[in-house]
Structure formats: structure tokens, C-alpha cells
């Protein structure tokens, strides 16, 4: 890693020009197989790199935000959460929501959250000898995963809500905008069909209008650092590769969640069933970030106040909404803690390790980790990487 | 401290103050109201235009774009329903006692 101070702006510009000639970085490179495809979405399973005896028993389903590309969790080698989990012996699945086209304006919230996510959970759980799977939802994906778990808890072994908004009364500026009388969600959906991603991206940028300028200054300041540039370019590529929100789904998302706060109010329904947070009794972990201007901490931690799980924890780290998840330093902080959290909620039999399973390093897929929050301080120092404030929306 | 570092410190101070001020402006009802109304009027105009175009198209006996979207969506729904039934059938078979 380069550690020299830059000699000046001119050399930074030259370094940027040289980097630009190499083109956009490759993303989403961890080898995987498509195990299910339906309408635009598909379920991917990453190829194991460890022999069966060294793998964890319960598979993990990753649920990204509906409006962002799934590869944020598999950004680039060395910056890939998925790559880390696979190397640690986890069986990892991820939902690629795909790109909705014009006819998907009629896709409803129930279609996405009950039918599609439900299918992904069932397909993933089918790979487990116990018929269950861990679920991690990131941002809006965390909201969807929480609602699904509340309505259909049977196959969910545990729930991790990663920077996921739950209490929309604390939703920050986004909540203020969507609740303002001038914001007519029906007119928006009727006019656009699917809510176009540039509109949503613009709204995320308005959350912090100076972010692009600050990003430019940061880029000039670190242009001499190849490693920083690789991460920056990959995150930028992801941040500018968003997808539109299916219209009918968006209408209910805004109405039920942002305006009625139905999840916290206990009035949410999914697939005709009540989706009450107090129905969730599996292990729950809420991960929040100190500088997250998209999902304020209070909006995410409300999950823990409402679930009935005896096994629940909060992991609060420094960093921004995206940077703390994909920065290279997350590999030393957030990722091992999540792996350990799942590890102690796994069973030993499938790995043939019996009672010896607690020996060794949890991050390697063998060991104990009984308190995800215990390493908060250490992780906090690591999670605030050079791209911690990358402004890509999620 | 070189000139660049000094400038960065000034920029950071400006950025922090400006972001805080803009957040207040963007949350102000006096800004949100007119902005929302403008978006709503634009969307309603677009909807009305689309409807008028569709009505003209339908008048000459051709399926509208919306008709085609509905048909495609129904096909996708059918595919999903078949997948639902396949899952239910597989579950029922798995639960059924061995008959032989």
C-alpha cells in the first residue's frame, strides 16, 4: 500500500488521468451459479472454496436493496463481503433483483416481499439439512427481510438488519419529504410507471448536496493511492448503476411505511397475514453506522425494541451507509463480527466437528463468537475507511 | 502545513456549515410544498397525455402500450403462480406417507 504524501495537485491529476485510461473496474467477480430465476430477479449461490467438512451448516441469504445492484456486497476482490464469507466457510446466496421493465409497474409489494423474497428464502433453506437459513438484509433489503420474517418466520434461522430502516418516524429528510403534503405518490406512479432511478438518485444526493464536492476533494487528496482509487472507482461504478422502483410496490412502500409507519405501528400485512415485529423471535442483529445519513441510527435500532427475540444485539460502527460495508477496512471489522455472529448460531453436526467446534478462529469458519458487539471499538476504528463517505445511495 | 492542507481545512469547515444549512432549507415546508406541487403537476400532465394517446390508439383498434404491459405482467404472474403450485406439490409429496 502506498503511504507517501502526494507531491501536489498536478501529480494527483496525472495519477487520475492514468487511472482513467484503465477503464471502469470489474465488479461482482466471486464465482457463483444461478439457482433460480423468476421474472427479473434471480437467486445466486456462490461456489464454496472449502471442503464440506469445513463449512457451516446453515446457509446465508443476502437481500440487497431493491433499487441498487446486488454486487455492492461483492464489489471487488479484497472488498467483497461475499468473498470473505465464502472463504470463511459459509454457504452464501444472494438475490439479484434485476432491472424492472415497463410491465413491472404492476409488481406489488406483496409480489416482491412475500412471493419473490419468500421463494428465495425457501430455495436457500432447502440447501440446509435443517430447512432454515440465516437472512441478512441491507438497507431497503433489510426492511423487506424484516417484514418477511415477521409474517413468515418458519424458515428464518436468524435476521441481520444491516443499516435497515424500520421506524420511519425517525427516517430523516427522506421521511420529511415523503410526508409533505405536496408529495403525491399516486401522481408520481401514474406518471412514471416505475419510479425512475435518476429521480431516486437525485433525492439521495439532495440528502447531502455537498457530498459530490467533498468526494472530489477527497479524490484529489488521495489520487496517489492506487488502492484507494480502486475502491473509489468500484464504489462509484456501483453508485451510478441503480435500478428503478416497481411502481405499485413503491406506492405501498411510501404509503404503509413512510407515511403510516405500519411496521412499528403493528398494522403491516404481507400476503394477507399480519407482519408484526413482535412475532420475530429468532436471533436478531441490528447493524448501524455512525455517519449514515440515509438511515439514521434511531430508524434502524427500533427493530430491537419491538422484536420478542431473547437473542438480540446491536452493532454500532463508525462509517457511512456504504463505505462501512464495502471498504477494505470492513474486512477487519464488520465482516469478521458478522461471520462470528452466524457461527455461534450454527450447529456443529454438519461439519462433523462435534463439541470441538468452538476451538479456533471464528472468522475462519471454526470457532466461537458469542458477542458481536464486544468488538465494537476495534471495529469502529477499522470501518471508517478512506471511502467511508462514498455517497452512493442504497 | 502546505497550502493544500490549509485549503482543505477551510473547505471542510465550509462544507460542514453548508450541508447543515441546506438540510434546513430542504426540510422547510416553504420549499417542499412548491417543489412537490410542481412535480405533481408535471406527473398529472404526463398521465393525461399518455391517456389521450392511448385513447387515440385504442380508437383505431390497436392495443395500447398499457395493454401490452398488462399482458406481459399477467404472463409473469402466471409463471410465478405455477412456481408456487410446484412448491406446494413438492411439499405435499414430501409430507405424504409412503404409499408402497
Q: What percent of chain B has pLDDT over 90?
A: 51
Q: Is the pLDDT assigned to residue A26 strictly greater than 50? A: yes
The residue from A139, A167, A225, A387 that is catalytic is: A139
Checking if the pLDDT of A389 tops 60, the result is no
- Of the listed ranges A246-255, A273-282, A321-330, A351-360, the one predicted with least confidence: A351-360
Q: What local confidence, expressed as pLDDT, does residue B94 receive?
A: 87
Q: Residue A328: its pLDDT value, please?
A: 77
Please compute the mean of the pLDDT values over residues B13-18 and round it to a whole number. 92
Nearest C-alpha in A relative to B67 = A103
pLDDT digits (tens, 9 = 90+) for A111-150: 999 999 999 999 999 999 889 999 999 999 999 999 999 9
Band the pLDDT of A6: cuts 50, 70, 90: low
pLDDT tens for A176-192 read 888 888 899 999 999 99
- Work out the mean pLDDT of chain A and round it to a whole number: 85
**Quick one: pLDDT at residue B88?**
94
Annotated catalytic residue A110: no
Q: A96-114: per-residue pLDDT in tens?
A: 999 999 999 999 999 999 9
**Residue B23: band (very low, low, confident or very high) from pLDDT cuts 50, 70, 90:** confident
The residue with greater pLDDT, B80 or A365, is B80
Distance CA A275, CA A133 (A): 19
Residue among A120, A185, A190, A291 with most chain B CBs within 10 A, to mutate: A190
Across the range B22-30, mean pLDDT stands at: 89
User: How far, in Å, CA of A283 to CA of A91, rounded?
Assistant: 19
d(CA B80, CA B86): 10
- In tens, the pLDDT along B3-14 reads 888 888 999 999
Asked if pLDDT for residue A377 goes beyond 80, the answer is no
| Segment A308-312 mean pLDDT | 94
| pLDDT of residue B2 exceeding 90 | no
- Contact criterion met (CB below 8 Å) for A249 and A105: no
CA distances from A311 to A199, A283, A345, B56 (A): 39, 5, 10, 61
pLDDT in tens, A82-95: 999 999 999 999 99
User: Across the interface, which of B23, B36, B83 has its CB nearest the CB of A183?
Assistant: B36
**pLDDT score of B32 more than 70:** yes
Which residues, in sequence order, are bridge partners of residue A136? A62, A160
Closest partner residue to A191 (CB to CB) among B18, B47, B65 is: B47
Residue A233: its pLDDT value, please? 87
Give the per-residue pLDDT at B45. 95
The yes-or-no answer on residue A139 being catalytic is yes
The pLDDT of residue A257: 96
Query: Does B19 contact A209 at a Cβ distance shorter than 8 Å?
Result: yes
State the pLDDT at residue A355.
43
Give me the pLDDT at residue A371, please: 40
Residue A56 has pLDDT above 90, yes or no: yes
pLDDT band of A360, cuts 50, 70, 90: very low
Give residue B99's pLDDT band: very low, low, confident or very high (50, 70, 90). low
Task: Give the pLDDT score at A14.
Answer: 81
Residue pair A43/A123 in contact (Cβ under 8 Å)? The answer is yes
Instruction: Tell if the CB–CB gap between B43 and A106 is shorter than 8 Å.
Output: no
User: pLDDT class for B98, splitting at 50, 70, 90?
Assistant: low
Percent of chain A with pLDDT over 90: 59
pLDDT at A204: 84
Are residues A361 and A339 in contact, defined by beta-carbon separation less than 8 angstroms?
no
Annotated active-site residue A292? The verdict is yes
A115–chain B Cβ distance below 8 A for any pair: yes
B-chain CB neighbours of A176 within 8 Å are 27, 32
* B40 to A182: CB separation less than 8 angstroms, yes or no: yes
Rounded average pLDDT over B32-58: 91
A394: confidence class by pLDDT, cuts 50, 70, 90: very low
Amino acid at each position: 500500500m502506498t503511504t507517501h504524501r502526494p507531491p501536489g495537485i498536478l501529480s494527483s491529476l496525472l495519477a487520475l488521468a492514468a487511472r482513467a485510461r484503465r477503464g471502469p473496474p470489474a465488479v461482482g467477480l466471486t464465482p457463483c451459479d444461478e439457482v433460480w430465476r423468476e421474472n427479473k430477479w434471480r437467486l445466486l449461490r456462490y461456489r464454496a472454496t472449502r471442503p464440506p467438512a469445513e463449512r457451516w451448516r446453515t446457509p446465508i441469504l443476502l437481500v440487497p436493496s431493491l433499487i441498487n445492484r446486488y454486487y455492492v456486497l461483492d464489489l471487488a476482490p479484497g472488498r467483497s463481503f461475499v468473498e470473505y464469507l465464502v472463504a470463511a466457510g459459509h454457504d452464501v446466496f444472494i438475490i439479484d433483483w434485476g432491472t424492472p421493465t415497463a410491465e413491472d409497474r404492476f409488481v406489488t409489494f406483496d409480489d416482491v416481499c412475500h412471493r419473490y423474497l419468500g421463494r428465495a428464502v425457501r430455495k436457500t433453506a432447502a440447501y440446509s439439512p435443517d430447512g432454515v437459513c440465516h437472512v441478512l438484509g441491507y438497507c431497503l433489503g433489510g426492511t423487506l427481510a424484516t417484514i418477511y420474517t415477521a409474517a413468515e418466520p418458519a424458515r428464518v434461522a436468524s435476521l441481520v438488519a444491516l443499516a435497515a430502516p424500520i421506524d420511519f418516524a425517525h427516517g430523516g429528510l427522506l421521511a420529511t419529504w415523503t410526508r409533505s403534503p405536496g408529495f403525491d405518490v399516486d401522481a408520481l406512479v401514474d406518471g412514471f410507471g416505475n419510479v425512475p432511478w435518476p429521480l431516486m438518485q437525485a433525492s439521495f444526493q439532495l440528502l447531502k448536496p455537498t457530498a459530490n464536492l467533498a468526494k472530489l476533494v477527497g479524490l484529489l487528496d488521495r489520487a496517489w493511492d492506487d488502492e484507494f482509487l480502486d475502491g473509489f472507482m468500484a464504489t462509484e461504478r456501483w453508485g451510478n448503476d441503480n435500478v428503478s422502483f416497481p411502481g405499485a410496490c413503491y406506492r405501498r412502500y411510501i404509503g404503509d411505511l413512510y407515511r403510516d409507519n405500519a411496521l412499528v405501528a403493528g398494522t403491516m400485512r404481507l400476503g394477507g397475514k399480519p407482519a408484526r415485529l413482535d412475532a420475530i423471535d429468532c436471533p436478531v442483529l441490528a447493524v448501524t453506522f455512525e455517519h449514515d445519513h440515509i438511515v439514521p441510527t434511531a430508524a434502524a435500532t427500533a427493530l430491537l425494541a419491538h422484536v420478542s427475540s431473547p437473542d438480540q444485539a446491536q452493532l454500532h460502527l463508525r462509517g457511512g451507509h456504504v463505505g462501512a460495508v464495502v471498504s477494505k477496512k470492513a474486512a477487519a471489522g464488520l465482516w469478521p463480527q458478522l461471520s462470528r455472529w452466524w457461527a455461534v448460531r450454527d450447529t456443529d453436526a454438519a461439519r462433523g466437528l462435534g463439541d470441538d467446534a468452538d476451538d479456533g478462529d471464528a472468522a475462519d469458519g471454526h470457532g466461537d463468537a458469542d458477542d458481536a458487539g464486544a468488538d465494537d471499538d476495534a471495529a469502529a476504528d477499522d470501518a471508517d475507511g478512506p471511502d467511508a463517505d462514498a455517497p452512493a445511495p442504497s | 502545513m502546505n497550502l493544500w492542507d490549509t485549503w482543505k481545512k477551510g473547505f471542510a469547515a465550509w462544507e460542514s456549515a453548508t450541508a447543515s444549512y441546506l438540510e434546513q432549507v430542504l426540510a422547510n415546508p416553504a420549499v417542499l410544498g412548491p417543489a412537490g406541487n410542481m412535480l405533481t403537476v408535471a406527473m398529472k400532465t404526463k398521465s393525461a397525455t399518455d391517456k389521450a394517446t392511448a385513447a387515440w390508439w385504442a380508437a383505431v383498434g390497436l392495443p395500447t402500450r398499457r395493454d401490452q404491459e398488462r399482458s406481459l405482467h399477467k404472463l409473469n404472474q402466471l409463471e410465478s403462480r405455477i412456481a408456487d403450485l410446484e412448491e406446494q406439490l413438492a411439499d405435499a409429496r414430501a409430507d405424504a406417507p409412503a404409499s408402497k
